[in-house]
Amino acid sequence: MDETILIAGAGQNQISIIRKAKSLGFRTVAVDGFPDAPGLPFADEKVVADIRNPEVILAVAENVKATAVYPAAEHAVEACAHATSRLNLPGVLPEVAHRVRNKFAMREALAAREGFNPRYICVETLQEARHAAQMIGFPVIVKPVDGNASRGVRRVESPGDLNEAFGLASQVSNKGAVLIESYLEGEEYNVDGLVFNGRYIPGAVTGKIRSPLPYRYDEAIFTPGADPELEDRIFSTVASALQCIGFSLGTTHIEVIVTPKNVYIVEMAGRPGGGRIPSDLIPLAYGMDYLADSLRIAAGKQPTSKRLFRKGSVLLWLKAKPGIVREIRGVEQAAAVPGVHDIWLQASEGKTIPRVVDCATRDKIGYVIAAGNTVDEAFSAAHRAAEKIEIITTAEHVPI
């Protein structure tokens, strides 16, 4: 294959994408703003540059003669759409990329059809936030319009808690804008899928074990996350929502909440999901080479992979007390547990584990991936492995 793919983002989650692209015969050019990004050494060529800057991505794509541009990281989605549009390469239009990056723009586009959205109001000041929360009614969800990884997202029960939540969300937002949304009581799911020439291709509905409130992040994810009937209903809703915002080609990661009456769209992303859903959980549970098809689509090629079976896979995040890591025990014993697919540790001796309040702080520790004939089997293996891993910390001043 005489093709060059520019992969925007070279963090830990993007290593599998770079490897998969190379295995398919692409010449890989990885771009990241951090010189020590762990994925850069895996690419044929590495470029240190700002993946959020549309003109930078365009210039790099032109310089390396890219035949495909792949938004592997959230912050690169709009810049990649700008480059593919200018170079007439496969991708979505810049305005569509903006809708999946900006939560308010997404809500406004989805409002064209009834049933996708909770009640929502976009605000820029604390006074506006107070008025919006009163209009919607407590409890509310407060979130930055352009954040990711659950940073700055809080459930607020009363007016007295709104000041802190608004301040945090507005600091996280690059634009300083904040969404106030009605709190939906229901089950939350990740939904990963592909779109090729307007046709939606299901990947996985992933269930979640959520953190205690007021913070909202995943403590574990698993697939299949729903029974086949509910799974079909979720996939159908997501396909319709993507049509509504004009997403016609690419890889998507969407979060939904299912209530007794409806399937609501929580957030959208125009890139692969995190938590190794595309690279590990989907292949383990379904035998589908999801990442390969994701990369083929980015190059404008017909996807070829299909689901071969229906088993179970789990990613369970490890827990540890905040502090400086002094010792880690039991990793080899955990890896030997039947059903364990992989153990990944971000924590290491001398590193600081912060108080976990979102996905970013949670990822400072690590996780276990396990598989089985069913989700229950996979969870059993993951928990047995996690119990064997002991991360010993010394309590000192721990920043959030």
209-240 residue pLDDT tens = 988 877 778 999 999 999 999 999 999 999 99
| Cis peptide leading into residue 322 (ω within 30°) | no
In the prediction, which pLDDT does 336 show? 98
Tell how strand 352-353 and strand 312-317 pair up: unpaired
In the prediction, which pLDDT does 149 show? 62
| Euclidean distance between CA atoms 79 and 55, whole angstroms | 8
Residue with tokens 């229901």: 186
- Within 10 angstroms of residue 397's Cβ, the number of other Cβ atoms is 8
Indicate if the pLDDT at residue 147 is higher than 80: no
In the prediction, which pLDDT does 210 show? 87
Whole-number percent of the chain with pLDDT over 90: 86
In the prediction, which pLDDT does 153 show? 87
Which of 245, 288, 292 has the alpha carbon at shortest distance from 270? 245
Beta carbons within 8 Å of 346's beta carbon, 6+ residues apart: 12, 363, 364, 365, 366
Confidence of residue 396 (pLDDT cuts 50, 70, 90): low
Tell how strand 218-223 and strand 312-317 pair up: antiparallel
Taken in order 173, 176, 177, 182, is the CA torsion positive or negative?
Answer: positive
| Euclidean distance between CA atoms 81 and 93, whole angstroms | 6
**Contacts by 299-305 with C-beta closer than 8 Å and gap 24+?**
299/3, 299/5, 299/26, 299/67, 299/68, 299/90, 300/68, 300/89, 300/90, 300/249, 302/196, 303/194, 303/196, 303/201
| Euclidean distance between CA atoms 295 and 6, whole angstroms | 11
**Cα angle 255, 181, 99; round to 5:** 55
Output 354 or 150, whichever has higher pLDDT: 354
- Within 10 angstroms of residue 72's Cβ, the number of other Cβ atoms is 31
Indicate if the pLDDT at residue 397 is higher than 60: no
Whole-number percent of the chain with pLDDT over 70: 98
**Mean per-residue pLDDT for 155-174?**
89
The one-letter amino acid code at 355 reads R
Which of 266, 282, 190, 273 has the alpha carbon at shortest distance from 231? 190
- Within 10 angstroms of residue 14's Cβ, the number of other Cβ atoms is 28
Per-residue pLDDT of 27-80, as tens digits, reads 999 999 999 999 999 999 999 999 999 999 999 999 999 999 999 999 999 999
Beta carbons within 8 Å of 201's beta carbon, 6+ residues apart: 193, 194, 195, 293, 303
Q: How many CA atoms lie within 13 A of 57 on its CB side?
A: 32
In the prediction, which pLDDT does 69 show? 98
Could you say which architecture CATH assigns to the domain 185-310? 2-Layer Sandwich (3.30)
Confidence of residue 175 (pLDDT cuts 50, 70, 90): confident
Rg (CA), the chain: 21
Please say whether the structural domain 4-89 has been given the CATH code 3.40.50.20: yes
Which of 46, 309, 358 has the alpha carbon at shortest distance from 211? 358
Residue 28, H or E segment = strand 27-32
Residue 87, H or E segment = helix 77-87
**Mean per-residue pLDDT for 124-146?**
94
Q: Residue 200 is encoded by which pair of tokens?
A: 């939606």
**Mean per-residue pLDDT for 110-138?**
94
- Concatenate the DSSP letters of all residues of 252-303 into one string: EEEEEEE-SS-EEEEEEESS--STTIIIIIHHHHH---HHHHHHHHHTTPPP
| Euclidean distance between CA atoms 399 and 355, whole angstroms | 7
Per-residue pLDDT of 303-353, as tens digits, reads 999 999 999 999 999 999 999 999 999 999 999 999 999 999 999 999 999
Alpha helices (runs of H) in 173-220, residue ranges in sequence order: none
Write the Ramachandran bin of 46: left for phi over 0, alpha for psi from -120 to 50, otherwise beta: beta
**Mean per-residue pLDDT for 98-109?**
95
Q: Looking at the chain, which residues constitute the CATH 3.30.470.20 domain(s)? A: 185-310, 313-394
In the prediction, which pLDDT does 42 show? 98
The single-letter DSSP state of residue 180 is E
According to CATH, the topology of domain 313-394 is: D-amino Acid Aminotransferase; Chain A, domain 1 (3.30.470)
**Mean per-residue pLDDT for 92-97?**
97
Q: Looking at the chain, which residues constitute the CATH 3.30.1490.20 domain(s)? A: 119-182
In the prediction, which pLDDT does 372 show? 98
Q: Looking at the chain, which residues constitute the CATH 3.40.50.20 domain(s)? A: 4-89
**Mean per-residue pLDDT for 264-290?**
95
In the prediction, which pLDDT does 187 show? 93
Question: Which of the listed CATH numbers 3.30.530.50, 3.30.980.10, 3.40.50.300, 3.30.1490.20 matches domain 119-182?
Answer: 3.30.1490.20
